[in-house]
Structure 1
Amino acid sequence: MAAGEVVRAKLVTTIPTTREAHVPASTSVAIIGAGPAGLMLGHLLAQAGVPFVILEAQPREHVLGRIRAGVLEQGSVDLLARHGLDADLRERGLTHHGIYLQYEGERHHIDFLDLVGRTVTVYGQQALVAHLLAEHDRIGSTIVFEAKEVQPTGVTDPRPTVTYTHDGVGHEIECDLVVGADGYHGICRRSIPSGEIEVFERSYPFGWLGILADVPPSTDDLIYALHPEGFGMHSMRSLEVSRLYVQVAPDESIDDWSDARIWDALHERLGLEGWQLQEGPITEKSITPMRSFVTSTLQHGRMFLAGDAGHIVPPTGAKGLNSALADVAMLGQAILDHRAGDDTGLARYSERALARQWKVQHFSQWMTEMLHVLHEVPDASARAFRYRSQVGQLDHLTGSVAARRSLAEQYTGLPFTE
C-alpha cells in the first residue's frame, strides 16, 4: 500500500448483527484495542493520511457499553478541539472551575480557574468512545470487532505481523508499527518477554462502590469527602444524571448493598448542614478495586503500549483516561515524524510518556491516601493517628495558596508534551 493512502473499508456498524470489514493484508499501523486510546490514535493518523487498522476483541455494543471515567483535563479537551473531535463534548460536557474538599463537617472550594487559569470538563468516557466511533464510521475507518486470538509477532523485525481470527477464519496483517492499546488484560504487554519488561504494582485495601442515579446533581462542582466511615464522592455525568461513590472493602459483594444502604452511606459521608443530597433511581452499581500499575517500558521493538496496557491509576485523581490521551498525543506525533524520516520521537516515546506517568501516579496516590480511611489497621490508636494526620493534611491544603495551586496544576493536567 502506498504511503499516505487512506484505508476506506466500511466499518462494522450494525448492532447486534455484525459483519467483517474488508481488511487489507498490509497497513502502516496496526492498533490493537478500540478504547479511547486506540480510537483517538486512529483519528490522529487518519487526519494525516496514515493507513491503519484497529482490531478489537469485544463486540461493538460491549465497547459502547463500558462505563469508565468521566473527567477530562484541560489538555484532553484541547486535544479533541485541535482535531475537530469536540462537537459532542461542547454540546454535552460540563465545564467545572474546581472541586470541593470536605472533612470534619466543612466543605472547602478549590478554584482551579483562579489558581492556574484552567478548568476540567465532566464528560463520560462512554460518550467519548461513542463519538469517536461515530466519527470513524463517518470517515470509513477499518475496525474489526470480535477479533479473536490476536497476536503480534515479529515486532523486533522491520515489518511485524498481527494475526487474528474472525468468525473462525484466520487473518494476518503486515505492518510497520504495532500499537497495544488493549488494556491491562490485553495481549500486547503479555507478549513482551519477561526479561524485557518489569511491572511495578500496588493494590489498595479498599475499593469504590460507584452508582449512576437518574437525579440531577446536588452540587455544582465535584465533592471529595473524608469521613471517619470512609471516603465519599459526588460527581455527575450530565445535568440529569449523578455519579456517586463510597469507599468499601475491595472484596465486598455488590449484592450486600441495597439501594437504601447505598443512599444511607452517601448521606452520612457527604452530609453537611444546610445542604441536601437528592436521591433518585439507581440505574447502575458496581464495586471497583483500587490499584496502581506501571510498566518499566512502553516499547518493545516496533510495538508501543498506550493507556491501560502500560499503566493504571486509582481513580481518585481522575487520571486514567487523560493519561491514555496524553500517550497517544505523544505517540501519534512520533509516528508522523517517523514517516517523515525522523525516529527521535519513537525512540523517546517510552521515556517521555513514563516520565509524565510517574508524576501522575504520585498525584493519584497522594489524593487516594489523603482521602481514604484505613479500616484495616488493627490498632485503634494507630487508626486514629492516621485519620487525624489526614485532617491536618487537608487543613494545610485548604489553608495554603501554594498547596492549592499545586493541586490545581496537577488536577487540571500536566502538559501532554513532557
Structure 2
Amino acid sequence: MTFRLFTSLGNEVRTFSPVKEGEVRMYVCGVTPYDVTHLGHAFSYVQFDTLRRYLGWIGYRVRYVQNVTDIDDDMIMVSRRQGGRPIAEIRDENDAILRADLDRLNVLRPTVYPYATDHIPEIIETTQRLIERGHAYVVEGDVFFDVSTFPRYGRLNGMSLEELGKRENPESKRAHKKRNHLDFLLWQQVDPGDPSWDSPWGPGRPGWSIECTAMAVKHLGTQIDIHGGGSDLKYPHHENEIAQAECAYGVEPFCGWWVHNGMLQLDGVKMSKSLGNLVLARDLMRTYEPDHLRLYLLSHHIRADANYTAGAIDALADRYGRLRAAAQRASDGPGAGSAPMLQDARERLDDDFDVPGALDAADRAAARVLAGTGNEDEADRLRQTLAVLGFAFAGARGPANGDFSP
C-alpha cells in the first residue's frame, strides 16, 4: 500500500517519500510557555503524535523533534509583569503542566525536545551564514533577512509579496531600519535588563523564526521530511523558516511535506490565550477519561478547523464505549498485539491520513465484534488499529501506560 499525504507547499496530496529511505525526520513547532496551554495545543500534538505512530507502523524509523520557544516577546512581557521572575522558572512551570496533560493523553515523548535558549550558538552561526551569502544585513546591532534575495518567498502561502504585505505580521518590527517591508529580524538588540547573549553584532537575542530553523537543522539536518504546526504559523513563521534554511544551506526543498493542523475554535471563535476563550485539557480530563478526549480530538481531520461546543465530547460516549468493549475481546497471550490493522482503516489512513475515516471503520468493526458477527480475528485487528491511533486502553505504548521513552 502507498501512503499519500497533503502538503501545504503546492496544496496537493502526494505519495510520501522521505529524503532517506526508511527514515522520517519530523519537526513540529512547540509552544511558547509563557502561560497555560489549552485544548487547541492538545488537538495539535495528539494529531501529530498519531501521524508519528502511523509512520512507525508502516515501517519508518521516525525521529521526532518538538521545540520549546523559551525566549521571545511574550516570555519577556510575562517576566516583567511578574516582577522580573526568571524566564526559566516561567518556562519550566508551564512546560510541566503541558507535559502532564500530554502524558495523560498518551502522547509519545519527542525524540528531542530542544529549548531555543540552548541553541544560541547555532542561531548565531545560521545568521552569519545568511549575512555571508548576501541574504541578510546588519543595521546598528539588528540583523534582518533580505526577502528580496529569495524569489520563492510566499510560495508556501501561495501569495505574492504584495499580498503578503497586506497581512498581519508579528515579525514586522523596527520598520525604520529595514530595506523592505517584509524583511524580518534574525537577531535583535534588547532593552536594558532584558535577557541577552553576546554576538558578532553586539548583545542581543534571536528573532522568532530563526530559532526553529537552527534547531531543526541541528537535530534533523539541512533537509527534513515533515514540518508540522498550526495553520496560523504558515505566515510568517514557516514562510521565514523556508527562506532561512534554503538560503543558509543551499538546499531545496528544506522540507518535503508541510503539514498544518486546523484551529480549534470555541463557539466559532479561534481559541487563543490573547482572547482568553480557553478550554483546558486538564479540566476536561477531570470529567472524561483521557482516551475519551483523545477520541474527540481525533474525530476531526488534522487539517480541519474544529468547533468545540458543550456536549461535543458527550456525543461520542456511545462510540467510546463500543470501541473499549470490543477491544477488550481481543485475544491475550503469546502473539497478542501482533495482528494486522483493519484493512479499511488502513486504507483511510493511507489516503491523506484520514483518521476520522479510520475511526468510522473501527466503530463498524466494534459493532460487529459486539454483535458476534465479525471475523474470527476482528477484535484483534480492531485493538491493533486503536493502538496505532494511540489509545492507551488498546495497549498503545506511551506515558499513559508507563512508557516515557521517545
Taking structure 1 as the reference length, what is the TM-score of the superposition?
Answer: 0.28
Identify, as 1 or 2, the structure richer in strand: 1
Identify, as 1 or 2, the structure richer in helix: 2
